[in-house]
């Protein structure tokens, strides 16, 4: 905390958040984003990448991230969960396909298709799709989500064929993709993939065009390429995050952190040997040492575990 003497009678104006030069901030490295996309593209070539930018681009701003990724040839489109995110991407001038993976009602659907946003479907809503499509006078493209064992949204794989047949038979519906999500248990993932491929073979054998089949998220990029199918849809890998610690250094993907939490040093002081800093005396100086205070904490996204082994980069050097 800084204190300064103020002369009597001097005008004093309350500071606002926008006025402060000491608030922490997030920086996104466009260069590292591009590097990570190139790494994923190399791994899955020649398959396209459906970039998952859900939950406001993982907190980085869904429109900001979409603008950075859209110019990259390897990125074929974007996937979000909330309709508001999909609309924000379109408002930002993004022209590549956008897949809405979250729930929607008929009003939401009408809004989505009016902005060329593709819905993900997993329930019997064929009649609703046709009503909206007929009012618009245009077929609705969609992806069908199949649950092969993760237990979340998705038509159960044993009932998926009936739903897909129903949708494929509708004049106003166009199947653009069929998708699933791995449970991220390697042995069980293989079983899931067998169910999914069996379903796809059956339907394709009936002459149904399924569009792109996709299943692999960031975790799946480190598994057998059989799971890459026709397209991959990573999220956190694009930001340089490994979904499991053992993937780092495995020689499969060389990811670079694309996100940094930054703050300015506001205070530096000398701790004498035996003096401590932090709650519960988290740090006790073994010798005289200079310590710096940064105005950033848990409320800003800094995990509590960072106090136990985390490091800070200041002026190019790392400090505990």
From 262, 279, 308, 319, the catalytic residue: 279
Nearest to 197 by CA among 178, 221, 225: 178
Dihedral angle over CA of 225, 231, 235, 240, nearest 10: 50
Spatial distance between the Cα atoms of 256 and 239, rounded to a whole number of angstroms: 8
Spatial distance between the Cα atoms of 159 and 108, rounded to a whole number of angstroms: 26
Cα distances (angstroms) measured from residue 146 to each of 123, 142, 280: 10, 13, 49
- Helical pair 106-114 and 126-136, crossing angle rounded to 10 deg: 40
Write the DSSP assignment of 234-257 as a string of letters.
Answer: -SGGGGT--SSGGGTTSSS-----
Write the DSSP assignment of 37-57 as a string of letters.
Answer: HHHHHHHHTTS-EEEE-HHHH
CB atoms within 10 A of CB 100: 25
Q: What are phi and psi of 302, to 5 degrees?
A: -75, 115
Q: Is 279 a catalytic residue?
A: yes
Coil/strand/helix, residue 33: helix
Active site residue ranges = 54, 279
């Amino acid at each position: 905390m800084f204190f300064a003497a103020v002369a009597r009678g001097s005008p004093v104006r309350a500071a606002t958040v926008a006025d402060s030069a000491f608030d922490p901030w997030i920086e996104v490295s466009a260069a590292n984003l591009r590097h990570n996309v190139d790494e994923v593209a190399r791994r899955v070539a020649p398959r396209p990448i459906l970039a998952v930018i859900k939950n406001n681009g993982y907190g980085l701003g869904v429109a900001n991230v979409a603008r950075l990724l859209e110019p990259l040839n390897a990125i074929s489109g974007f996937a979000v969960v909330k309709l508001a995110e999909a609309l924000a991407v379109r408002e930002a001038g993004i022209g590549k396909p956008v897949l809405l993976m979250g729930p929607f009602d008929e009003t939401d659907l009408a809004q989505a298709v009016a902005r060329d946003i593709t819905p993900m479907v997993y329930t019997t809503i064929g009649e609703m799709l046709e009503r909206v499509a007929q009012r618009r006078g245009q077929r609705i493209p969609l992806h069908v989500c199949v649950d092969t064992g993760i237990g979340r949204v998705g038509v159960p794989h044993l009932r998926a064929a009936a739903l897909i047949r129903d949708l494929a038979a509708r004049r106003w519906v166009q199947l653009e993709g069929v998708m699933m999500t791995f449970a991220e248990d390697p042995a069980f993932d293989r079983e899931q993939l067998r169910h999914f491929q069996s379903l796809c073979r059956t339907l394709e054998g009936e002459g149904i065009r399924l569009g792109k089949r996709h299943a692999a998220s960031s975790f799946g990029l480190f598994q057998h390429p059989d799971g890459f199918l026709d397209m991959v849809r990573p999220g956190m890998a694009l930001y340089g995050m490994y979904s499991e610690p053992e993937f780092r250094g495995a020689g499969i993907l060389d990811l670079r952190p694309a996100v940094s939490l930054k703050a300015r040093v506001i205070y530096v002081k000398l701790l004498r040997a035996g003096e401590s800093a932090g709650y519960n005396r988290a740090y006790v100086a073994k010798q005289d040492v200079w310590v710096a205070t940064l105005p950033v904490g848990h409320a800003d996204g800094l995990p509590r575990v960072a106090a136990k082994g985390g490091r800070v980069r200041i002026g190019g050097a790392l400090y505990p």
